[in-house]
């Protein structure tokens, strides 16, 4: 049994790339059921957790100890590298990305400008003979397609993901009425505005990018600034507007609040059940034993002494159960010494060897630490009971993101795999707990193992 290592590996085991996280509100219906694995539930899991099985990838053979590897196999693709500090964009890479974006964007924007001007000019001029309606219909399709192409270009070259706005249309009425609604939709004109503005920008950016390739200071300091301005323009016109963002956030918060209430209610019932079935029964037995001992104290001192000894043992058991219950609510070691020591204490109690690697500095908020602790504790319990595993690995690290830092926890075991997700089980409770702080859980459990459970917990929500 090992505790935290003084020299953790540079990269943790990654079976699920960070950019391909699966929201805990979805359910993977194609997941095969099977015996064991770290994700095996004892009960049922509500639609709160994704169990993403990987039948298409060959199962990884169990090793003596699942060491953290820089590369790991992912379903449907090749190896994926874990993001590290070395992978973050440097000053030089930002300059080259900006130059690549400007050079690659020039032909797209020239084509967009020519196509839009031609289609709209022909469409408007031929409206009198009805041919213009068909031309404008084609122009509408072209505008939305070019907007999607620009979002893909920005994502591929600059690494900035601009989500496509959610557009809802009223499909009632005739074909031309529906088309007219699409033509007059505000997002149509926002896309058109971006494409028209991008043409003069592209004419300015192309020579600047060529100069930046030759003159180093321009490439390092000027091009990234111009690209950042272009990103702001794209987010304002190609991305969701403020109303859509607020609606999406409100829906997310509503779902998160509902799941948080459910998780809190389930925790309350668990505490009530543990008190009723554990410490309360012990204390009742203590009271009854002391009462019997009191009645026999004068007539049969020996029996009274035995009853007092029995009541004393029950009292110590009740204290132990209350201590365990308090530790289940919030362990003292977590508050006093942090997540590293708390996870090491969980590993020490696990019946199989657990390798713990924690790299979290500075300490995250208490809610994040508590959520990570209980996720690891539940997973290790499931591993010991169901996975038929011989080793397990716990990796926890803090990762910087533009939207705020994340604490990422991964629990890996070399058990049988094939974890089955059922409504109402333990893993669903963990997903609900993570959702209360906008966290996301992902499970990979191919038949034959290994099973990886990952939780991405934001430090700001």
Q: What is the CATH number of the domain that holds 64?
A: 3.30.565.10
Report yes or no on 189 lying in a domain. Answer: yes
pLDDT of 39 strictly over 50: no
Of 227, 246, 265, the one marking the end of a domain is 246
Q: Are residues 298 and 408 in the same domain?
A: no
Report yes or no on 4 lying in a domain. Answer: no
* Arithmetic mean of pLDDT, 158-162: 89
Which range among 260-269, 283-292, 450-459 shows the weakest confidence by mean pLDDT?
A: 260-269
Q: Are residues 98 and 52 in the same domain?
A: no
**Higher per-residue pLDDT: 324 or 32:** 324
Q: Are residues 111 and 240 in the same domain?
A: yes
**Higher per-residue pLDDT: 132 or 229:** 229
pLDDT of residue 327: 65
Q: Are residues 109 and 239 in the same domain?
A: yes
Q: Are residues 128 and 269 in the same domain?
A: no
Q: Are 271 and 324 in contact (CB under 8 A)?
A: no
Q: Are residues 77 and 182 in the same domain?
A: no
Report yes or no on 440 lying in a domain. Answer: yes
Q: Are residues 111 and 229 in the same domain?
A: yes
Confidence of residue 422 (pLDDT cuts 50, 70, 90): low
Helix/strand/coil for 31: coil
Strand pairing class (406-413; 440-444): unpaired
Q: Is the dihedral of CA 377, 381, 382, 384 positive or negative?
A: positive
What is the number of structural domains in the chain? 3
pLDDT of residue 378: 86
Which range among 92-96, 135-139, 418-422, 440-444 shows the weakest confidence by mean pLDDT?
A: 418-422
Highest mean pLDDT among 7-21, 67-81, 121-135, 421-435: 121-135
Q: Is the dihedral of CA 173, 179, 180, 186 positive or negative?
A: positive
Report yes or no on 73 lying in a domain. Answer: yes
pLDDT of residue 397: 93
Report yes or no on 434 lying in a domain. Answer: yes
Q: Are residues 273 and 190 in the same domain?
A: no
* Arithmetic mean of pLDDT, 79-106: 72
| Token pair in block for residue 255 | 């779902």
Percent of the chain scored above 70 by pLDDT?
75
Q: At what angle do helices 223-238 and 186-214 cross, to 10 degrees?
A: 170
pLDDT of residue 108: 93
pLDDT of 46 strictly over 70: no
Report yes or no on 8 lying in a domain. Answer: no
The per-residue pLDDT of the chain, averaged, comes to: 75
Of 329, 352, 373, the one marking the end of a domain is 329
pLDDT of residue 30: 34
The label of the residue with tokens 């029964």 reads 281
Q: Are 59 and 187 in contact (CB under 8 A)?
A: no
Confidence of residue 36 (pLDDT cuts 50, 70, 90): very low
CA–CA dist 75, 53 (Å, integer): 8
pLDDT of residue 196: 93
Q: Are residues 269 and 304 in the same domain?
A: yes
Q: How many CB atoms lie within 10 A of CB 63?
A: 12
pLDDT of residue 266: 73
Confidence of residue 41 (pLDDT cuts 50, 70, 90): very low
Q: Are residues 206 and 108 in the same domain?
A: yes
Within 13 A of 71's CA, how many CA atoms are on the CB side? 3
Radius of gyration of the chain (CA): 30
Report yes or no on 229 lying in a domain. Answer: yes
pLDDT of residue 421: 59
Report yes or no on 142 lying in a domain. Answer: yes
Please state the separation of Cα 93 from the chain's center in Å: 27
Confidence of residue 43 (pLDDT cuts 50, 70, 90): very low
| Token pair in block for residue 63 | 């090793």
Residue range of the domain that includes 127: 91-246
pLDDT of residue 180: 77
Looking at beta carbons, which pairs linking 396-402 to residues 24 or more positions away fall under 8 Å?
396/339, 396/343, 396/357, 396/358, 396/359, 396/360, 396/372, 397/12, 397/357, 397/358, 397/359, 397/360, 398/359, 398/360, 398/361, 398/364, 398/459, 399/18, 399/83, 400/88
CA–CA dist 50, 26 (Å, integer): 6
Of 193, 218, 246, the one marking the end of a domain is 246
Percent of the chain scored above 90 by pLDDT?
23
Residue 398, CA distances (Å) to 24, 33, 196, 217, 229 in order: 20, 32, 42, 33, 29
Beta bridge partners of 409: 396, 455
pLDDT of residue 207: 92
Highest mean pLDDT among 42-56, 298-312, 322-336, 342-356: 342-356
Q: Are residues 190 and 206 in the same domain?
A: yes
pLDDT of residue 47: 33
The answer to whether the peptide bond before residue 362 is cis (omega within 30 degrees of 0) is yes
Please state the separation of Cα 460 from the chain's center in Å: 14
Could you give the residue ranges of the DSSP H alpha helices within 275-397?
280-296, 301-329, 332-337, 339-349, 366-386
Tell me 24's DSSP state. T
Q: Are residues 107 and 235 in the same domain?
A: yes
**Higher per-residue pLDDT: 176 or 358:** 358
């Amino acid at each position: 049994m090992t505790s935290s290592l003084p020299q953790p590996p540079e990269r943790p085991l990654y079976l699920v790339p960070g950019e391909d996280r699966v929201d805990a509100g979805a359910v993977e219906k194609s997941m095969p059921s099977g015996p064991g694995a770290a994700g095996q539930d004892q009960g049922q899991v509500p639609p709160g957790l994704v169990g993403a099985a990987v039948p298409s990838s060959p199962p990884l053979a169990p090793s003596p100890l699942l060491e953290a590897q820089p590369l790991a196999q992912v379903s449907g693709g090749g190896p994926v590298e874990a993001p590290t500090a070395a992978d973050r964009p440097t000053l030089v890479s930002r300059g080259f990305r900006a130059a690549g974006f400007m050079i690659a964007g020039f032909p797209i924007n020239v084509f967009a400008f020519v196509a839009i001007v031609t289609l709209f000019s022909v469409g408007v001029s031929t409206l009198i003979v009805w041919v213009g309606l068909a031309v404008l219909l084609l122009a509408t399709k072209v505008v939305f397609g070019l907007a999607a192409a620009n979002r893909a270009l920005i994502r591929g070259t600059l690494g900035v993901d601009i989500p496509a706005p959610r557009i809802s249309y009223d499909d009632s009425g005739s074909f031309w009425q529906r088309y007219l609604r699409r033509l007059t939709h505000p997002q149509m004109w926002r896309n058109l505005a971006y494409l028209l503005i991008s043409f003069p920008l592209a004419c300015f950016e192309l020579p600047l990018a060529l100069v930046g390739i030759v003159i180093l200071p321009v490439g390092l300091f000027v091009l990234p600034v111009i690209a950042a301005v272009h990103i702001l323009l794209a987010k304002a016109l190609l991305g969701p507007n403020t109303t859509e963002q607020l609606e999406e956030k409100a829906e997310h918060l509503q779902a998160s609040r509902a799941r948080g209430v459910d998780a809190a209610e389930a925790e309350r019932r668990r505490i009530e059940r543990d008190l009723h079935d554990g410490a309360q029964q012990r204390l009742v037995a203590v009271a009854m034993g002391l009462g019997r001992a009191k009645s026999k104290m004068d007539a049969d001192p020996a029996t009274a002494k035995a009853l007092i000894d029995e009541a004393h043992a029950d009292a110590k058991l009740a204290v132990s159960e209350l201590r365990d219950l308090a530790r289940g609510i919030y362990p003292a070691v977590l508050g006093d010494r942090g997540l590293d020591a708390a996870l090491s204490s969980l590993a020490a109690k696990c019946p199989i060897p657990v390798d713990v690697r924690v790299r979290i500095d500075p300490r995250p908020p208490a809610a994040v630490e508590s959520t990570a602790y209980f996720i690891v504790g539940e997973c290790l319990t499931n591993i010991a009971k169901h996975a038929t595993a011989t080793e397990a690995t716990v990796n926890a690290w803090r990762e910087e993101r533009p939207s705020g830092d994340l604490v990422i926890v991964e629990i890996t075991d070399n058990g049988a795999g094939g974890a089955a997700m059922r409504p109402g089980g333990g893993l669903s409770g963990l997903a609900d707990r993570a959702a209360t702080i906008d966290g996301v859980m992902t499970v990979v459990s191919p038949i034959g193992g290994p099973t990886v459970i990952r939780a991405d917990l934001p430090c700001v929500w």
